[in-house]
Every structure is written in structure tokens, then in C-alpha cells.
Amino acid sequence: MTRTPQLLPLLVAAIAVSLSAAAAAASNTTTSSHPGRLQGLLAQVWRWRERHLADPSSRPGSGSAPGVRPNTVAAWVLSFLAASVSSAGGVGGGSLFLPILNLVAGLSLKRATAYSSFMVTGGAASNVLYNLACTGGGGQLIDYDIALLFQPCLLLGVSIGVVCNVMFPEWLITVLFSLFLVCCTAKTCRAGLKIWRSESDRGGARAGAARRAHPSTEEPLLLPCDTSDAEDGNGAGFPWKDVALLVMVWLCFFALHVLIGDKHGKGVIKIKPCGVAYWLITLFQLPAAVAFTVYIMYDKRKKRDVHSQEDGKADLVGATMESTLPSLTFPLAAFVTGALGGLFGIGGGLLLNPVLLQIGIDPQTAAATSSFMVLFCASMSMVQFILLGVKGIGQASVYAGICFVASVVGAVVIERAVRKSGRVSLIVFLVTAIMALSTVIVTCFGAQDVWMQFTSGAYMGFKLPC
């Protein structure tokens, strides 16, 4: 009980240090008089953190188990809140989980990254199951065609982004990530305002029609969970073929990653890091992604041609987004999104949702489809961590279970809020808020890390991939 209040000074001190580091990194005129003092403050904060959080037996009379320490409980609560908010917006939440695990739970950054993949997987799985349960197969929310067009190039982009992450200096990654998040936050906010105005106009027109006692022919923006899909023509059932193809893509890329192993050559088979076999397997991801994408595009085009011949012009009325945009729009957007995600070291949800919104996907569909794709990306990372022998799988599973439950709560709350208000723009604004918070967190902690590298004299230039 006496240790619980110590969490507050830790958070305050960490925020103060982060802001101080960001300000010092932005100003070249005052750094000469403060580096020693700031470096000493950084060292004191991290020593205090190690003593009070990382070691459960550091304080006298501490007889509690490591899993039930006050800081662990605080991390559970914060993870629950972060997962509920992130999943409601279709965002994985990795950028929020990492500071919680590292700063509050006292985990190392390496272990926090592994735990984060478990948490994102749990939250995404919960979100996907909820969407499937509410729509009898998810036909009204998850767009499996978009997921199919995105997935191969998304995974390819992640692999290339990871290589760039190794080569680029940390200060450049921090600057690029901050600028990218600022631009995406502004664009997403403008999209939300546009949707809000459109909803207001429709609401006014609907109210006028009601006053004239004419029945409304518009459907609600969010259908109840027990609404059938008869009018949509989605009664064909669950798209097993699409999901099976997605699983096949997942297994293909997963097998390649398992063969490659990590940077130390630790994998299922022994491969010399950056040797000939290593690069051959790595480069094989390119033809694999192209082959899957070409087949998927051919299959979808063939199906559309068959439907257009059967239904004539009636099929044009229900044309989906992927049939009205250029064929390469989705694969290119997926590749860029994956490359940025791999470069910045985060899951795809924080980038996928804004990209789908900018393409013109409905906010509800964007959130559900983004969660569906995040499930594939995060689960691949999670299984890789398990195969590579990450420690603390039991504790990571507890965090994943918390995020699983929290995601259902977040999905239910946002679903009821949208149904009650009639505004799907609430989802867009929620994504905007998460991105803005992530921008602040990434910028502050990134600036702190860069400043510590600068003051310690570490190399801050480009590096070779091997």
C-alpha cells in the first residue's frame, strides 16, 4: 500500500524528462550549458525506476509476488483503458502499450515489445470476433476483398521497412515518424469534420422529412447486431475461400520469417545472418507477394465480370470501393503502409486506418477491416516471439487476456455511441485522438533516446543492414 503513491512521481518525472529532452534537442543554442545536468537527471530517473519497479525485492519487507505488485496492477488498468480506446477505433494500440509496459510495469524495451505483440493480437482477435458475431459473418463491416488486396504487399512492406529500420539512424526515424503522424492526424481530423458536416446535413434533411410526415427511406448508420443481411445479398454465408487464402498468405510469409530467424541467426534452421541463403529467402518475399496479389486481383476481376453478366447494370449500383479505384491503388497503399510500419517499429493499425479513410472507405468498415488485418500482422509477430523462446509467456498472456476483454468493452461502447448519435464520424475522431496522443508519446520518448545517444557520444549515422 505504501508503494502505490510512488507511481505518480515516476510518471511525472518521466514526462518532465521527456519534455526537457525534446526541448534540448530542438535548440542548439543552450545545449552547451545543460548537457551534464540533464544527463545526470536522466541517470537518476532511470536508476530510481530500476530500483522501485524492475526489481520486486528491492524494497525491504516486500513479500508480494512480482505479478501482483502495485505497478503491475497499474499497468493492467492502463492497458485495459488503452486497449478499449484503441480497438474501438480499429487501431492496434502498440504505440500506447509500449510506454505503459516499459515505464509503469518496469519491463525492458525488448520484453515490452514482445508483450505488446501479445496484447495487440488479443485485442484484434476480440474485435474481429465481435464484428463477426454482430453481423453474422462480418459481411457488413469487414471488407475481405480489401483485406486480400492489402495483406501480401503489406507483409512485404513490413519486411523492407524492418531492413530500413536497421539502416536508418534513430534520430531520422523519430523525425520521420513524428512528421508522418502529424500529417496523418491533420488529414484524419479533416476527414472526420467532413463526415460530421455530411451527417449533419443528412440529419437536417431527415428531420425535415419527418416533420412533413413522410416515411424515411434511409437506413441507420449502424445496424443492430441481430439485423439480417438479406437486403445486402450477403446471405451467401461466411467467405471461407477468402479467409483460407489470407491464412495461406500468412503461413507463406511466416515460414519465410521462421527460416530467416533473427539478426543473430536464431531460427528453426541454422542460417548465417546476411549470408547468401539469408538474402535469397528474404528476396523471395517479393515474387511471393506479387504472385499472391496478381492471383487475388485476377480472381476478383473474374468474379465481377461474372456478376456483371448475370445482373447487368444492377451490379454497378452495388459496386464496391475496390472496383471503382485503379487496380494498383490498394497494393501500393498496402506496401507503403507496411514499409512505414516496419520502419517505425509499430503495428499496422495506427497507419492502416487513416490510409483506408483517405482512400474513401466507410469509417465503420475501415475500423473493422483494419482490426482484421492487424490480427494477421500481430499474430505473426507473436508466434515468432514464442518460437524464438521469449520469456514470460504466462505474464504476456495475462496482458493479452486483459486486452481481449477491454476490446469488447470498447467495441460495445463505440457501437452504442454511434447508434445513439447516428454519427460514424465519432470513430474517425477517436482515431484522430489516438494518433495525436501517439505523436506526443513517440516524439517525447524518441527525443529522450536521441538526446541520450548524443550525450553518450554514440554513433548517429547510417548503418549497413548487416
b/e per residue, 358-375, with b = 16+ CB within 10 A? eeebbbbbbbbbbbbbbb
User: How many domains does the structure of the chain reveal?
Assistant: 1
- Evaluate whether residue 100 is within a structural domain: yes
Which residues are CB-contacts of 45 (< 8 A; sequence separation ≥ 6)? Answer: 13, 14, 17
- Evaluate whether residue 402 is within a structural domain: yes
pTM of the model: 0.71
Answer for the pair 149, 352: CB distance below 8 angstroms, yes or no.
Answer: no
Residue carrying C-alpha cell 445496424 = 223
**Residue 176 CB-density burial (10 A; 0-12 exposed, 13-18 middle, 19+ buried):** middle
- Evaluate whether residue 463 is within a structural domain: no
- Evaluate whether residue 196 is within a structural domain: yes
Q: Return per-residue pLDDT of the chain as tens, 466 residues.
A: 444 444 444 444 444 444 444 444 444 434 444 445 555 655 665 565 555 554 444 444 444 444 468 888 999 999 999 888 887 777 778 878 878 887 788 787 678 878 888 998 999 999 899 888 887 654 568 888 889 999 999 999 888 888 888 888 888 888 888 888 888 888 889 888 988 998 888 875 565 555 444 444 433 333 444 444 434 434 456 788 889 999 999 999 988 888 877 666 566 677 777 788 888 888 999 999 999 999 999 988 888 777 777 665 444 434 455 555 566 788 888 898 888 877 876 766 778 888 888 888 888 888 889 889 988 888 888 887 787 677 888 999 999 999 999 999 988 888 888 888 888 888 889 888 888 888 888 788 778 878 888 888 888 888 887 6
The range of the structural domain enclosing residue 187 comes to 4-27+34-57+65-201+237-456
Cell numbers for 414: 463505440
Chain mean position to CA 24: 30
- Evaluate whether residue 225 is within a structural domain: no
- Evaluate whether residue 221 is within a structural domain: no
Residue 196 CB neighbours (<10 A) = 16
Residue in 284, 252, 288, 250 with CA at minimum distance from that of residue 373: 250
- Evaluate whether residue 219 is within a structural domain: no
Cell numbers for 41: 537527471
Interval 423-451: pLDDT, tens: 888 888 988 888 888 888 878 877 887 88
CA 51, CA 351: separation in Å to the nearest integer? 36
Which residues are CB-contacts of 252 (< 8 A; sequence separation ≥ 6)? Answer: 288, 292
Work out the angle at residue 119's Cα, subtended by the Cα atoms of residues 251 and 239, and round it to the nearest 5 degrees: 45
